[in-house]
Amino acid sequence: MGFDYNSLLAFIIFGVTIGVVYGIVALGISLIYSGLDIVHFAHGEMYMFGAFFGLVLAHNVGVPYPIALIGAMVLTALLGMAVERVFYRRLTRAGGGYTVAGMGMIICGFGMSVALVNVAYFIWGAEAEPFRANLDYIPRLSFPGDIEVPESYVLTAIISVALMAALHYFLRHTKTGLAVRAVAHNKDIAYLMGINVPLMISLIFGLACGLAAAAGVLIGPMQSVQVEMGYLMLMKAFAAAVVGGFGSLPGAILGGIMVGVFENLGAAYISPSHKDIYAFLLLILVLMFKPSGLLGVEAKVKA
């Protein structure tokens, strides 16, 4: 029997779709890193909360899926901003700003991750819940060779690309986006330009958490929504961010797609039970040959 190119193509298509979701979570991690110089370890929990917010909106409140998506993004953005204001910012008040507060910030991020998981247990319990979304109005995509791509994957690809495009437009072509980039590069100078730096930091955090929430709501209908889901996503998104070059926004997307494709191919051709290992295998390979990541430069690339 010859090599089945159709199934290879299918694995790649599914890999890319799941990969862009890793990409948008990684985008948030990179955004926070380049903007605030902190590695946000509670980002997986933002993704999880986003998924639950979407679930509650779609099932309990009964709004249509797209509204649930937007609602979850807004709620999670607010949650992220509140967490940053109440917890992380206190660490920077001690002086030195985000860069100097580094280690405390990492520990605070870990603590926040544990705390948020437990809050979620308390509210939603430990059981995995299926996310039923009515997506009948989205067409299934058919590729030559009997490859059918389900609605939720089509939707995921469309929305992820739209979010990336919107973020790109915001950062490159709006005045506030310019201010965000200025804050990312140097907070003192941004202050001297008259930019309200604390407000921009809130905005960066809100954006990043909103992106994570979108990923959660998009993944929801494919898998199920569960309190522990954030941990693995954080790891994969980190792998994606590092593969692409930490702090680089295009790199985050590229890294996400590579991780998605790599793990799908690994699961298909090596062993499906070790699916979650392949992302890290890719990470190790990239770190061996190009430690700054694929699109990273020696110094970190700023948004």
Partner 1 sequence: MLQINDVHAGYGNLKILRGVNMQVPTGGIVTLLGGNGTGKSTLLKAVSGLIPLMEGEVLFDGVSISKMKPHERMRLGLVQVTQAKEAYPAMTVEENLVLGAYTRRDRAGILADLERVYEFFPVLRERRKQLSGTLSGGEVQMLVIGRGLMAKPKMLMLDEPSAALAPKVVLEIFANINRIAKTGVTILVVEQNVRMALILAQYGYIIRDGVIMIEGEAKKLISDPAVKESFLGGSVANTAKALRN
Residues lying near partner 1 in the complex (CB under 8 A) are found at: 95, 175, 178-179, 181-182, 185-186, 188-189, 191-197, 302
Q: How far is the CB of 140 from partner 1 (least distance, A)?
A: 42
- At a CB cut-off of 8 Å and minimum separation 6, what does 157 contact? 16, 17, 20
Closer of 191 and 231 to partner 1 (Cβ):
191
> What is the CB-side half-sphere exposure of residue 252 using CA atoms within 13 A?
32
- Residue 276 CA to residue 174 CA, distance in Å, equals 39
Per-residue DSSP letters for 79-136?
A: HHHHHIIIIIHHHHHTTTHHHHTHHHHHHHHHHHHHHHHHHHHHHH-SS-EE-----T
- In this structure, the dihedral spanned by the alpha carbons of residues 257, 259, 262 and 263, taken in order and rounded to 10 degrees, is -120
C-alpha closest to that of 184 among 46, 38, 290: 38
Closer of 175 and 273 to partner 1 (Cβ):
175
Q: How far is the CB of 223 from partner 1 (least distance, A)?
A: 38
Closer of 180 and 239 to partner 1 (Cβ):
180
Closer of 195 and 242 to partner 1 (Cβ):
195
Closer of 213 and 301 to partner 1 (Cβ):
301
Q: How far is the CB of 256 from partner 1 (least distance, A)?
A: 22
Q: How far is the CB of 15 from partner 1 (least distance, A)?
A: 32
